[in-house]
Structures are given as C-alpha cells and as structure tokens.
Amino acid sequence: MISDHLLAGNEYIIEILERCIKNDRKAQEHLYKKFHGSMWSICMRYIGNTEEALEVLNDGYLKIFQNLDKYNESLSSPYTWMSRIMINTAIDFIRKKKTLKFSPVHELQAENEHTIDDLPDTYTVQELVHFINQLPQTTKLVFNLYVLEGYTHEEIACFLGITNSTSRWHVTEARKRLREIIKENGY
C-alpha cells in the first residue's frame, strides 16, 4: 500500500511515476485517481461535451502512461507535464474533428488586452466554464490557451499555425462574447 505520509508533495508523485513505469497497476490507478479531477476539468474546458471529454481523458491518460519514461522532473512538475499532455490530446481531438476554423486577421491591434480578471468575479468555476463552453470552438481554444494556460500569442500562433494577430483577435472576441453571454444570463 502507498503511504501518503512518507513522502511529501512531488517526491511522493515521483515515486508513483516510477512505480507506474514498472507497470504497477495499483500505482497507475492511484495516479489516475489523484489527478482525475483536474485532468477532467481540462478536458471539459476544451471539449465541452461530456462523452467526447471522457474520450479525450482516456486518450490523454493512455499517452501519459505510455510516455512516463520521458518525464523529466527538472523541467516541470508532474501536474504540469500531465496537463500539457491532456491539453495537447484535446487539441488533437478537436483538429481530428476538423472543428477549428481560422479566419486570417491582419494587423489587428488588441489595444486593451486584459486578463480574465476584467470580468466580474462573482461567478463559480462551474458558471465560468459554462460561459466559456458557449464560445465558438476555435475562439474557446485560443482563449483557454492564452488566459487559462498562460501561453503567449506567439506560442499559440506557432502551435496552431496561425498569426499572432489572429490569436489576439480570438482572445478579444472571446472576452466580448463572454460579456454578452453573461449579460444574456442576467448576471
């Protein structure tokens, strides 16, 4: 049995990862359960549909277990590494479904770029996720990557094969639509 009190924080998780590499089923189950909630939240934030999010979650965990030997604790925490795999799995799923539609936006200046903090803070996490899931798929994807995951516009542009200004436009559009959605819902 795994004893939580013997190891603190990441050291404990590193031990679990090492056991998972050796195909220890109990360790794999423990890792799955420990991060299930946060990985599920990532899938729902990007996919929005419960059935499809479950497919992405399972695919993501499969990739995590298949690539545990590639994890490098000096580069990131286990959570960060796993969440990046889950985000990439969600993006791959969206691409495979061909639901991403980019309109080129040239020379757009997002003069008043704010964080998500410019929205009122009286909402629960579930309400915010509900609002974000109402955005068009591409706008939601870029918004999540920029505001929630902390990628730069340059990184998003490179990652998705778009221009920086297109990335900025989607973030600006997401904020505009979120304000409209919130207003429509009487908040």
Parse the chain into domains and list their residue ranges.
9-97, 116-184
Distance CA 61, CA 28 (A): 10
- CATH tag, 116-184: 1.10.10.10
Neighbours of 161 (CB within 10 A): 9
Measuring CA to CA, how many Å separate 109 from each of 72, 81, 173?
38, 33, 12
Distance CA 58, CA 53 (A): 9
Distance CA 15, CA 6 (A): 11
- CATH tag, 9-97: 1.10.1740.10
Helix 25-47 to helix 50-66 angle (10° resolution) is 140
Q: Are 78 and 13 in contact (CB under 8 A)?
A: yes
Q: How many angstroms separate the most distant Cα atoms in the chain?
A: 58
Burial class for 61, CB neighbours closer than 10 Å (0-12, 13-18, 19+): buried
Q: What is the pLDDT along the chain (187 residues), one digit of tens a residue?
A: 333 433 356 788 889 999 999 999 999 999 999 999 999 999 998 888 899 999 999 999 999 999 999 999 889 889 999 999 999 999 889 888 765 555 444 333 343 344 444 555 567 777 888 888 889 988 999 999 998 888 899 988 888 888 999 999 999 999 999 999 888 877 6
Measuring CA to CA, how many Å separate 172 from each of 66, 130, 165, 185?
37, 19, 10, 20
pLDDT for the residue numbered 115: 44
Helix 25-47 to helix 125-132 angle (10° resolution) is 60
Burial class for 165, CB neighbours closer than 10 Å (0-12, 13-18, 19+): middle
User: Mapping DSSP to helix (H, G, I), strand (E, B) and coil, where does residue 100 land?
Assistant: coil
Torsion of CA 13, 19, 25, 27, to 10 degrees: -20
Q: Are 167 and 142 in contact (CB under 8 A)?
A: yes
